[in-house]
Amino acid sequence: MPQKDTRAGLLYGVGAYTLWGLSPLYWHLLNGVSHWETTVHRVIWCAVGVGIVIAISGRLAGIIDKLRNKKLLANLMVTGVLIAFNWGVMVWAVSAEQIVQAAFGYFINPLANIALGVLLLGEKLSPLRWAAVALAVGAVVVQTVALGAFPTVAILLGLSFSLYGYFRKTANIGGLDGVFVEAMLLLPFAVALVLYWQSTGQAAFLHENPYTDVLLVLCGPVTALPLYCSPSRRGRCGSARSDSCNISARRSAYSLRYSCSAKPLRWCTR
């Protein structure tokens, strides 16, 4: 693989991880909204925003043609369910003040990615990278003990996104195109839920204030951009290599987020 493509892939990965690391700050702004409604709006506005970009770029016909491949369509159905589950768990974790577990999940995730890359995709690690992985595994074990509780949320977040990344890597479709298809497959269910909540008076959207409405609409780009970056870098460098290099990027992003939110990492300082 050309060195230029590898570097570009790593840059995409750092960008994706940084955005994910900072995203709970955004979901915290929506704490007054049900985590179910926030997740549904992530789907809707992601579909709308990415759909506009796809339409303007003239790629819609090409995407439809690709979806005649039933294997690809089934693959994207699986990734759509996985990513929606991941979104829902993350938003719930923030609203339930399980931010430490949410952060921990994204330390577990790169290790799971490395395991999938080595075991299922046949990727190779140098001795130096194996040493880095061993150190990271040791750190995760120490933090699990210090946490004092089984990290259910962390495992759900880390594993669901690792599986998402694996299935997306095996799908022959571009990053943004894949995000669009995933969102469109989920869109009918999301719209049905919004209409139900609107009819029963349970919706925050259009019933709270313009500030909340704008935040819900902006869930689209906040959701789509890191997803675009992640498949893009995976197409340029291996899962094992990129994730072993980007563990530090995730750590930096979460450290910055905790500094901004003034929430101490008690499980790191015991």
**What are 28-70's pLDDT values in tens digits?**
899 899 999 999 999 999 999 999 999 999 999 999 999 999 9
Q: Which residue has the tokens 């993350």?
A: 90
Is 63 inside a domain boundary? Answer: yes
Is 16 inside a domain boundary? Answer: no
Reading the block at residue 240, the tokens are 């094992």
Q: How many C-beta atoms surround the C-beta of residue 112 within 10 A? A: 21
Q: Which residue has the tokens 């994204």?
A: 106
The pLDDT tens digits of the residues spanning 212-233 come to: 999 999 999 999 888 777 654 4
Q: What is the mean pLDDT of residues 254-263?
A: 52
- The more confidently predicted of residues 204 and 239 is 204
Q: For residues 86 and 141, what is the distance between their CA atoms, to the nearest angstrom? A: 23
The phi and psi torsions of 201 (rounded to 5 degrees) equal: 75, 20
Is 168 inside a domain boundary? Answer: yes
- The more confidently predicted of residues 45 and 126 is 45
Is 163 inside a domain boundary? Answer: yes
* pLDDT value of residue 230: 65
Q: For residues 46 and 171, what is the distance between their CA atoms, to the nearest angstrom? A: 20
The phi and psi torsions of 181 (rounded to 5 degrees) equal: -65, -45
Is 256 inside a domain boundary? Answer: yes
Query: How many residues are given for the chain?
Result: 270
Is 235 inside a domain boundary? Answer: yes
Is 109 inside a domain boundary? Answer: yes
* Greatest distance between any 2 Cα atoms in the chain: 59
Is 159 inside a domain boundary? Answer: yes
Please provide the average confidence, as pLDDT, over all residues in the chain. 82
Q: How many domains does the chain have?
A: 1
The percent of residues above 70 in pLDDT, for the chain, comes to 80
* pLDDT value of residue 233: 47
Reading the block at residue 43, the tokens are 């789907």
For 251, the domain range is: 34-269
Q: For residues 252 and 246, what is the distance between their CA atoms, to the nearest angstrom? A: 10
pTM (whole model) above 0.85: no
The percent of residues above 90 in pLDDT, for the chain, comes to 43
- The more confidently predicted of residues 246 and 54 is 54
Q: For residues 140 and 111, what is the distance between their CA atoms, to the nearest angstrom? A: 9
Q: For residues 4 and 2, what is the distance between their CA atoms, to the nearest angstrom? A: 5
